[in-house]
Chain A
Amino acid sequence: DAGVTQSPTHLIKTRGQQVTLRCSPKSGHDTVSWYQQALGQGPQFIFQYYEEEERQRGNFPDRFSGHQFPNYSSELNVNALLLGDSALYLCASSLAGPSLRYEQYFGPGTRLTVT
């Protein structure tokens, strides 16, 4: 049973460029969340997708956008990259449901470096 997978593992971009990160959820999961983790910080929530729609969004600018596909996989797009966007981007999948107990399973992350 494959867990959450993310690609690419590492990425180096230049300021002003655009980047797309990809995530495949754990088998059986229907919800994907994206988090940004700056060095030495805890993960910060970017947004969450369910039924191919953005359901919740954290305090991130519109340069951050996403998409969820019918197979539940997801993409995170960041436009006009800034040096401050350098971080580990974590994708987490979960199953929508009534229980708060449904933990989010995290992928290994994509390390983005903006130069």
Chain B
Amino acid sequence: AQKITQTQPGMFVQEKEAVTLDCTYDTSDPSYGLFWYKQPSSGEMIFLIYQGSYDQQNATEGRYSLNFQKARKSANLVISASQLGDSAMYFCAMREGRGSTLGRLYFGRGTQLTVWP
């Protein structure tokens, strides 16, 4: 089974509008962390936001917020006031807590976001 599922291959949003990118995850580990990364066409993965499984509040980082619904195992990324520079590929990833503290990341297939003027 896929650990991370991103069901939106592509999303389009007008500049200054908000957009939600979907992510669902699958784990039996009660301790895990969820990450969102942005990958521009240059290829480098840029960390955006983190949510821990025990965090009581949804994470926020500037224009990025994470809509964390633990019971539904979803961790959707919300980008407010979209900018043209937000056009990129967005990946949801998970790190499980069991075992060592060196945990690998499991990535979804990504969502290509296009912001238009």
Q: Which residues of A contact B (CB under 8 A)?
A: 31, 33, 35, 40-45, 48, 50, 55-56, 58, 88, 90, 92, 94, 96-101, 103-109, 111
Q: Which residues of B contact A (CB under 8 A)?
A: 4, 31-33, 35, 37, 42-47, 50, 52-53, 91, 95, 97, 100-110
The reply to whether B109 and A101 form a contact with Cβ atoms under 8 Å apart is no
Q: How far is the CB of B89 from chain A (nearest CB, A)?
A: 9
Q: How far is the CB of B109 from chain A (nearest CB, A)?
A: 5
Selected from A88, A90, A103, the residue in CB contact (under 8 A) with B47 is A103
In the complex, residue of chain A having the shortest beta-carbon distance to the beta carbon of B32: A100
Complex Cα–Cα for A41 and B37 (A): 14
Complex Cα–Cα for A94 and B103 (A): 10
Complex Cα–Cα for A8 and B52 (A): 35
Instruction: Say whether, besides A88-B43, A100-B97, A109-B44, A45 and B105 are in contact (CB < 8 Å).
Output: yes
Interface centre among A48, A50, A94, A106 (most CB of B within 10 A): A106
